[in-house]
Structure 1
Amino acid sequence: MTANACTFCRIIAGDEPAQMIHEDDHTIAFLNIAQVTEGHSLIVPREHHRDLAEISPDGAAQVMRTAVHVSRQLTRALHAPGINLWHASGETAWQSVFHFHIHVVPRYTLTDLTPPWTEAEVPVESLAGLAAEIRGQA
């Protein structure tokens, strides 16, 4: 993908407007134009990586360090008693901009967001085969 084709790359280059709240050598953070809650922000690596499969562990760690910093910044500035971090890789996971990013969503009440899944516990023993299959791919 060329930098011009990627919205986040254009923001990083200064060719697309954004309300920045943090910048460092490796990442930027800006307010999402689709505010799910007040202060909903995006953390983006300066280097283009399509998704979690393409970003290096070090690159992902840099994004997470910024997410921690921005979470604290939002909590102090907006008095948000909670924060959700959200990442999606791939269309089936609802990724809509194909440049790795993490959403930082301040939470103000228990009901300002709807959980994307419901909890349904299963006996831990029933997960043994699945765990073995996943370990086999390490």
Structure 2
Amino acid sequence: MMCDLCDHLQAKKLQALYEDEKVIAFSPEKPMIQGHVIVAPKEHQDTMQAVDDSLITHYFYVASYVASVLFDGLKCQGTNIIVNSGKHSSRSFPHFCIHVLPRWENDGLDFSWEKLDLAPNEMDSILSSVKDKAFMIGKAKKAPQGPVHLDKPIPCLRMPSSSTPPDHDERVSHLFRRP
């Protein structure tokens, strides 16, 4: 699948507001509003659900700071943080991303949705269909068990030849005690 964002990342065509080894925050070519910033993983991901939890945390950390920068730099009165994830999320490219939009009174952006008038039994049915799948919310994924492979050896502390170090200091003497 072709991804315009990945192509732009590879060609280094994006002007980054912020960038590290995992994420880039940039202003799109056709912003929705002045100050619109997109936070996206550098590695292609179609959906948020495919991204590791620690990376999601990092992406939202960056998005939160981008919102703070917009408040300070543009003196906006609010922000919207919108996640585009998945095929039908109104996204312009097939790449998971977070949009940070500065907001002002009468700025022309309208995110009001028409509310559904659901009967109580319809709402109960919807909730019960997802509730049994929500038990993992808030539970961290366990790290895989197995041997740990190190790239380089861990340096070891060597005990001095005598039981009392040359520069004896009571604050650290317990570190040199032998069992």
Match for 2:5 among 5, 8, 24? Answer: 8
Gaps of 5+ in 1: none
Aligned to 2:85: 89
- How far is 1:46 from its partner? 1.7
Q: CA offsets per residue over residues 89-115 of structure 1, 9 Å max, x none?
A: 233221221111011111112452012
* Residues 63-74 of structure 1: pairs in structure 2 closer than 5 A: 63-74=59-70
C-alpha distance in 2, partners of 1:79/1:105? 13
2:39 maps to which residue?
A: 43
1:109-124 → structure 2 map (5 Å cutoff): 109-115=105-111, 117-120=113-116
Greater relative contact order structure (CA < 8 Å, 6+ sep): 1
Higher percent of residues as helix: 1
**TM-score (normalizing by structure 2):** 0.65
Report the Cα offset of residue 69 of structure 1.
0.8
Contact kept, 8 Å, 1:7 with 1:16, in 2: the verdict is: no
Give 1:50's aligned amino acid.
D
Partner residue of 1:25 out of 21, 25, 49:
21
Larger Rg: 2
Alpha carbons 2:80, 2:103 under 8 Å: kept: yes
Match of residue 129, structure 1, among 122, 125, 129: 125
Counterpart CA distance in 2 for 1:121 and 1:41 is: 34
Other-structure match for 2:53? 57
Q: What one-letter code is carried by the residue in structure 2 that aligns with 1:28?
A: I
Q: Tell me how far apart the structure 2 counterparts of residues 41 and 34 of structure 1 sit (CA, whole Å).
A: 11
For the residues of structure 2 that align with 1:66 and 1:126, how far apart are their CA atoms?
Answer: 38
Whether the aligned pair in 2 keeps the contact of 1:55 and 1:100 (CA below 8 Å) is no
1:123: Cα distance to partner?
6.8
Cα shift readout 1:42-88 (whole Å, capped 9, x = no counterpart): 00112211112322222222111110011111111111111011122
Percent of paired sites with the same residue: 25
Distance 1:115 1:86 in 2: 11
| Gap runs ≥5 in structure 2 | 135-179
- Give the letter for the 1:118 counterpart: E
